Each structure stands twice: as structure tokens, then as C-alpha cells.
Amino acid sequence: MTARKLPETHPTALIWEVGTAYEFFVSLHVLHEPDFFDLRPSWAAKIRSRIPTTERTFLEEVYYFLNFPLAWLYKLPEPKNAISVIYSLQQTPPAERGTALLSLNRGLKPESQSLLKIAEHRTWDKDDLAVLTPLMCKKNEAGRVHDEGALIKYLNWWARPEDFGNMLLSSLQAYQLAFFEQEEQRVGPVLQAGIEHARQLADHLTVSELISKLSQGVSYEEPIGKELILVPTFWMTPLVQLERISEDKQIFLFGARPSTMSAIPGELVPEGLLIALKALADPTRLKILNYLSKEELTPSELSRRLNLRAPTVVHHLKELRLAGLVNLTLRGQEKFYGARLEALDSTHIDLKRFLVNPPEAGKDTRS
């Protein structure tokens, strides 16, 4: 991990961070939401089936609410891999494992205080449920909403912090043995190459330009702050996550998987190419790109122009974003989209390269 101070015109200090520990949690999320990443649900289900039933059920019940413990991961000792994750949890008393991941990462959020209280008192009631339901059963980026029944299962775990901590450790160990131990060897070099590429870009780009380049078109109009930690991920490509982990420090996860490389081990056709071609094959998405090539628009503005329901437009924008075909600018709570026309050139190059000189199928037959 190293830091580089930008010139005075760019007061944000960039901190370079690479470690498969982040990928450990990202990949676990992807395996539970494969449809959101346009990956085969059958492949993800097969991977999950390798995890023993008890641990698999636990992960299915808690992963949605845990999300990525970014602040906790940032504080892990080097080399920040899956073993570091498991070792650090082993050194933490069972009753404190859940709260360690929660409080560091989300301590300022209202739901964290309620969950910490439940863990402390080892019980919850209808008032806790009434407070937490609107906070924790909201629609996530994958468009999925967990109902009150799922939240109740999660709260029942939180009311038993020792059991929760033991199952958390056991489940992550089982996941490492079932999939990630071998996967870590495959993605590690990609992450290292991704951070080196980002550092080269930073030599001649501003912070905002760097974020846009690494994210394939995402721009944040809010100030970044004093320090920005940049972390490459394999499975999140091309999506990103920006999260504040302290008053003056934010962490930025960006996709580093090459467009010509398949996400699924052993797959011949790169998902990035396939997703882009599928996105362009839809007439509604072509109409959206036509509008966005002329001006930036919000989903509601596109909805009116296309005479489509807002959820339908949001779905199409999600597919275009996953294909890297649109720019996304965040202005407060509003999202503005524009066409990312340079991605069309990249798609054409990748398609021609694949047809003329297709990659060899990987030797990994786990899928």
C-alpha cells in the first residue's frame, strides 16, 4: 500500500491498495446475485452447492445485509488475502466478529446502532423491526428487495452473537475451500496489473478523470475528500463502489478485469463482449443510446420520451451500464446518463479480435 500526493490543484491523496481479501467478499456477493452481473445463475448455483448445507444457508440469509466490510478490510494486515480475513476473524472473540465487520464500516448509519443494541442485549422486539425494515429492506442495486421475513432471520442471528460469529467464520472457511482458494490464484495477477495501470493513468489525469476512466464512465460531482483509496476488483467489473470509511477518507473499488478475459473460469467467450452485444441487440436500448448521444438525461426524462414505465427504463440503463456503453454522473441524489460512444469502438475491436484469434478455453473445468 503506497500513497502519492497530487499537485496542489488536486489536493486529494491517492492510496494504492491491492489484495484478494476484497475480492473474497465481492465474489461471494456475485455468486448470490449472478443475474445482476449477467452471469449464468446455474454456474453460480453449482459453485454454491459445494458449500456444506448449514454454511450455505447461513450465507444466503446474511450476505445481503452484510454487504462489503470495506473499512474492516482496509485495516487487515498484509498481504490482505483470504487467509488474512480468516485469521483476523479467528483472533476476534466469536461474539464480536459480526459487530467488528459492521461497526467499522457502517457505524454512522442508523441501522448499525440498532443492530449493535440487539447484539448487546441479545434480543429484539417489534419496535426494532419497525425501525430496521425501511432501512434494511430497501431495493438494492440488483433490484432485489428482501422482505421482512428475511430480516427476521437476520435479526435472530444478531440476537445470538456468539453463534453468529462462529457461523460467520465457519461459512467463510467453507467458501474459501469450495471456490476461492483456487480462484485467488487466477485473479491475483489481474488485480496487480489493474493497480499498475491505474497508477500510470494517475500520472496524467485529474482525480475525477481517473475515476471516470477506471469506472468506465462514472463521475461524482461531490468532493472526494483528502484521501482516496483505490482498490482493483476482478468480479465487480465494470461496476464500482465508492464509500466513505472515515471523515476524510473514501475507498473506491473499480473493475480491473480486461474486456477480453472471461469472468467464469474456463469460459471461451468473454462476458464483457457478450454483454455489450446483447445490450446493443435490443431496440429500446438503441433508442436510449440515440437520445443519450445528443444530451445527458435522467431516467425519468428518458421514461417520458420513450413512453415507458420508469422501472423499465432503469432496467435498460442498468444493462447499458453493465456493458460500459453509458456515462453516469451522480449529482446529489440525481443520476444523469450520457452515451459512452468510445465503448462502441472497443466492442468492435474486441469482437474482431475474438473472431480472428479467439482465446483458448481455460484449463479450469470447475464451472
What is the length of the chain?
367
- Rounded to whole angstroms, the Cα distance separating 274 from 323 reads 9
Closest among 324, 334, 147, 302 to 222, alpha carbons compared: 334
State the amino acid at position 301 in one-letter form. E
> Can you name the residues that pair with 243 across neighbouring β-strands?
251
- For residues 128-135, average pLDDT: 91
Cβ(76)–Cβ(24) under 8 Å?
no
Alpha-carbon Rg for the chain in angstroms: 21
Of 173-177, 199-203, 205-209, 220-224, the least confident: 220-224
DSSP 238: T
Instruction: Please give the grid coordinates belonging to residue 360.
Output: 483458448
Residue given cell 431495493 in the structure block: 139
Q: If we measure between CA atoms, which residue out of 139, 183, 258 comes closest to residue 30?
A: 183
Is the model's pLDDT at 314 over the cut of 60?
A: yes
Task: Give me the percent of the chain exceeding a pLDDT of 70.
Answer: 90
pLDDT for 145 equals 60
Asked whether 28 and 175 are in contact (CB, 8 A), the reply is: yes
pLDDT band at 6 (very low <50, low <70, confident <90, very high): very low
Contact 97, 72 (CB under 8 A): no
pLDDT at 105: 47
CB half-sphere exposure, 317, CA atoms < 13 A: 29
State the pLDDT at residue 68. 87
Q: What is the DSSP string of 292-353?
A: HTTS-B-HHHHHHHHT--HHHHHHHHHHHHHTT-EEEEEETTEEEEEE-THHHHHHHHHHHH
User: In 3D, which of 205, 186, 179, 169 has the Cα closest to residue 59?
Assistant: 169
Q: Where residue 139 falls among pLDDT bands split at 50, 70, 90?
A: low
How confident is the model over 235-248, as pLDDT tens digits?
A: 999 999 999 888 88
- Amino acid 64: pLDDT: 83
**Cα 252 to Cα 230: distance, rounded to the nearest angstrom:** 5
DSSP 365: -
Whole-angstrom distance, CA of residue 62 vs CA of residue 150: 9
User: Which residue(s) pair with 329 in the sheet?
Assistant: 219, 336
Start-to-end Cα distance in the chain: 33
Which of 34, 6, 165, 181 has the alpha carbon at shortest distance from 90? Answer: 165
Is the predicted pLDDT of residue 265 greater than 50, yes or no?
A: yes
Strands (E), 117-274: 218-220, 227-233, 241-246, 249-255
Torsion sign, CA atoms 61, 28, 350, 256: positive
Q: Report pTM.
A: 0.88
Q: What is the DSSP letter of 177?
A: I
Q: What is the DSSP letter of 148?
A: H
Output the DSSP codes for 31-96: HHSGGGGT--HHHHHHHHHTS-HHHHHHHHHHHHHH---HHHHHTSPTT-SHHHHHHHHHTS-HHH
Checking if the pLDDT of 364 tops 70, the result is: no
**Residue 85, burial from CB neighbour count under 10 angstroms (0-12, 13-18, 19+):** buried
Q: What is the pLDDT of residue 142?
A: 45
Distance separating alpha carbons of residues 179 and 169, to the nearest angstrom: 16
In angstroms, the CA 68 to CA 27 distance is: 10
